[in-house]
A and B are shown apart, each in its own frame.
Chain A
Amino acid sequence: MKVQSIEDLKKIKEESASSLKLREEGFQVSGEETCGLEKGTEHIQVLTCGGTGCKASESAAIAGNMIACLKEFGVVDKVDVITTGCFGFCEKGPIVKILPDNTFYTKVKPEDAAEIIKEHVIGGRRVERLLYVDPETNASVSDSKHMNFYRKQVRIALRNCGLIDPENIREYIARDGYSALADCLLGKTPAEVIDIVKRSGLRGRGGAGFPTGNKWEFASKSVSDIKYVVCNADEGDPGAFMDRSIMEGDPNSILEAMAICGYAIGAKYGLIYVRAEYPLAIHRLQTALTQARELGLLGDNILGTGFSFDITIRYGAGAFVCGEETALIHSMEGKRGEPTLKPPFPAVEGYRKYPTNVNNVETWANIPVIFQKGPEWFASIGTEKSKGTKVFALAGKINNVGLIEVPMGTTLREVIYEIGGGIKDGKQFKAVQTGGPSGGCLTEKHLDIPIDYESLTAAGSMMGSGGMIVMDEDNCMVQVARFYLGFIVEESCGKCSPCRIGNKRMLEILDRIVAGKGTVEDLDTLENLAKVIKDTALCGLGQTSPNPVLSTLANFRDEYMEHVVEKKCRAKQCTSMLDYVIDPDKCIGCHLCAKNCPVGAITGELKGKHVIDPAKCIKCGTCMGNCRLKAITLK
């Protein structure tokens, strides 16, 4: 069947509404009561996470075992097992959620499936051992709404992730999906559509934060019969996975938004440039495209309005620089992903020389809601210049690793300590890195700044695509800077010399410093080089590439000084500056270390105390790995 009118769309919404009602209510009401089929509950839904993280931990087998168990008990018609997108709480995955009581099970294994069905779904008794335990109170929490991880979150871009079945377009329609497109096509002029996006204050979520409405306006003003709408899904920032989660959990929101943009700027063609490393996201996008075409929500003459729009998928091939829009366009044309100077901007001369509007996945995911709830509603969330919410991939040395969405203006402290649950293993917080390889490391003194585009830039970092990596006392900041620079050197396309040669030289200096051969002058050279690269590199990647070095130099200069003057690494990560030492109180003289030492640096009689000769030691760590009494330490 093809959707020909707004009534057809409403009909599909009504047909699918009952299936979603249970889930929508579960997300609103407080469901501390346990319920099961034996206790009279008529219908139960079991949601399992089908995101990449949980799938890696066999969530598909969990769903399979559950269905088998339901069949065994003959209750398969009373229980729906639904695979959704990511719930966000990846640290505790795989996650299984049961409705209507909204019970949230964590770290579920395939062999737990039968117990959950027998005990909870049928008997109405919670499986206590699989519930989330609050690390502060040590009490188990069954309803995700009452977990600190979720309490402060506001989910707009992620509104459907972990709620709907991403491979069923009808569930998206039941959540008012495609109503914004229908509303625009049937009741608004392209200029009105652009005006709404402008008034919402939405800014690009890919990094730079350019106002989305203005970008659309530029593309709309270019005169051409052929124009393109592009979705930048080349999420290359290591440690960031928000775009992948949206594509996997709510692919239709991207398609709908791109069609709205097509109408606004006068484009008939859409392209999604997605990383080849994301096979599941690609599969979900393809499924969504097929279903949207079947319903006539993409293709020719959408909703009988005469507007035609269709989307094809282009694959990336593993190049970070392709996140830069001119490089991305060249890559889509089958060329090396090298950036070119702007202007001309893609809005004037983009894909195959036609006007092109490029937006990032998360930006697209915000568009349909802005039309459903109004630009004023969206603009009421966030800070003066940064509206709405931002999704972050919280990772590193933090208790609650996962995907979170918070209003702009939330502080780093709230994110790290309240949502993130603080630092892992009770260690000391040292730094938080935002903005990926183009961003910077912020410290304790920055924890109370509100998260928005301007504040993060002023503090020497940037919003970036939303990676947020937390580091503790065991991370050496010189090594962290070296890690990011290593990434940049590998990913530099080589077109302009500041980036190609300058970053390589900086990496060599950092290599020297961590090898204990650095000098104080090296720090000045680093700083000078960094500034030159920032001023002279061709594209965004090169211009921001020195940020991790500059921000660590600014915030952790004492640590650099220790490395170059005292030849010390306080985090004990730079092994060349450390000595392996045997604790005489713990050594029992088993001789295992001496036997395995490749250079004969360890001496001692059997059952006597052993010592390591630092002059001979090559710091390979073999002795430490062999000592069963943990008598060997780095000092």
Chain B
Amino acid sequence: MENNKISCEALAKVKAICSAHNNDAGELINILHETQNTLGYLPHEVQSLVAECLGVPATRVNGVVSFYAFFTEKPKGKHPISVCLGTACYVRGSEKVLDEVKKVLGIEVGETTPDGRFSLDCLRCVGACGLAPVMTIDGKVYGNVDPKNVKKILESDEYKD
């Protein structure tokens, strides 16, 4: 279990999401999407609550959360970074971009910087293949990224706080 307790207010929101979907277990993925949109991530406590509302074992909920790449059990950084490792980006050198981001931030994929500013993930294709290699920060797409410019992008004023 996580150290940081989830507030009662947040838990009430989760219950409301479940009941808006008639506590139907068939709606589990939609419920998890909405919950993650509201809370930012899906800690075990929340997964247990969803299971309780839907009347299914907590393992079933956790099985779904851990199966799909879109769901995360850890809170993301303030500015989530995703480096595209789709084929088009890969053949144009996105692995080198990823290595540079790891080097500059000192974190691995799936981790968050100790100050909570950045978290790093990979994704498979945002569909901006004409701009390959591509990375996104806060959903903003950076195209034709040269590893040499990664440090400059990460140090820009937009991501100072």
A331 at the interface (CB under 8 A from B): yes
Report the separation of the CA atoms of residues A61 and B25 in the bound assembly, to the nearest whole angstrom: 42
Specify which chain A residues have a CB less than 8 angstroms from the CB of B141 in the assembled complex. Answer: 56-57
A622 to chain B, nearest CB (A): 10
Is A395 in contact with B90, judged by CB distance below 8 angstroms?
no
- Complex interface residues of chain A between 215 and 267 (CB less than 8 A to chain B): 236, 238-241, 244-245
Is B68 in contact with A334, judged by CB distance below 8 angstroms?
no
Is A91 in contact with B130, judged by CB distance below 8 angstroms?
yes
Question: Given contacts A56-B141, A317-B71, are A277 and B126 in contact (CB under 8 A)?
Answer: yes
**Nearest residue in B to A625 (C-beta to C-beta)?**
B148
**Nearest residue in B to A335 (C-beta to C-beta)?**
B64
Is A396 in contact with B33, judged by CB distance below 8 angstroms?
no
Is B87 in contact with A433, judged by CB distance below 8 angstroms?
yes
Is A395 in contact with B87, judged by CB distance below 8 angstroms?
yes
Report the separation of the CA atoms of residues A480 and B89 in the bound assembly, to the nearest whole angstrom: 12
Partner of A395, one of B29, B30, B129: B129
**Nearest residue in A to B26 (C-beta to C-beta)?**
A334
Report the separation of the CA atoms of residues A436 and B124 in the bound assembly, to the nearest whole angstrom: 12
Is B129 in contact with A241, judged by CB distance below 8 angstroms?
yes
Specify which chain B residues have a CB less than 8 angstroms from the CB of A467 in the assembled complex. Answer: 87
Specify which chain B residues have a CB less than 8 angstroms from the CB of A239 in the assembled complex. Answer: 86-89, 125, 129
Question: Given contacts A315-B33, A317-B32, are A57 and B129 in contact (CB under 8 A)?
Answer: no
Q: Which among B25, B32, B33, B70 has the highest number of chain A CB atoms within 10 Å?
A: B70
Is B87 in contact with A396, judged by CB distance below 8 angstroms?
yes
Specify which chain A residues have a CB less than 8 angstroms from the CB of B131 in the assembled complex. Answer: 53, 56-57, 90
A382 at the interface (CB under 8 A from B): no
Report the separation of the CA atoms of residues A240 and B89 in the bound assembly, to the nearest whole angstrom: 12
Is A314 in contact with B70, judged by CB distance below 8 angstroms?
no
Question: Given contacts A333-B26, A336-B63, A396-B88, are A56 and B126 in contact (CB under 8 A)?
Answer: yes
Partner of A53, one of B24, B71, B86, B129: B129
Is B130 in contact with A53, judged by CB distance below 8 angstroms?
yes
**Nearest residue in B to A393 (C-beta to C-beta)?**
B129
Is A238 in contact with B25, judged by CB distance below 8 angstroms?
no
Chain B 118-133 per-residue mask, 1 if CB under 8 angstroms from chain A, else 0:
0000011111111110
Q: Which among B29, B87, B89, B143 has the highest number of chain A CB atoms within 10 Å?
A: B87
Is B85 in contact with A238, judged by CB distance below 8 angstroms?
yes
Specify which chain A residues have a CB less than 8 angstroms from the CB of B134 in the assembled complex. Answer: 56
Q: Which among A239, A333, A436, A469 has the highest number of chain B CB atoms within 10 Å?
A: A239
Specify which chain B residues have a CB less than 8 angstroms from the CB of A236 in the assembled complex. Answer: 124
B14 at the interface (CB under 8 A from A): no
Specify which chain A residues have a CB less than 8 angstroms from the CB of B64 in the assembled complex. Answer: 334-336
Report the separation of the CA atoms of residues A236 and B71 in the bound assembly, to the nearest whole angstrom: 16
**Nearest residue in B to A480 (C-beta to C-beta)?**
B91
A552 to chain B, nearest CB (A): 14
Is B88 in contact with A469, judged by CB distance below 8 angstroms?
yes
Partner of A334, one of B27, B87, B92, B126: B27
Question: A-side interface residues toward B, CB under 8 Å?
Answer: 51-53, 56-57, 90-93, 236, 238-241, 244-245, 276-278, 314-320, 331, 333-337, 352, 393, 395-397, 401-402, 433, 436, 467, 469-471, 475, 480, 483-484, 487, 493, 625
Can you add 10 more A-B contacts, CB < 8 Å, to A92-B130, A402-B130?
A53-B127, A238-B125, A317-B32, A319-B69, A334-B27, A335-B64, A396-B91, A467-B87, A469-B88, A487-B124
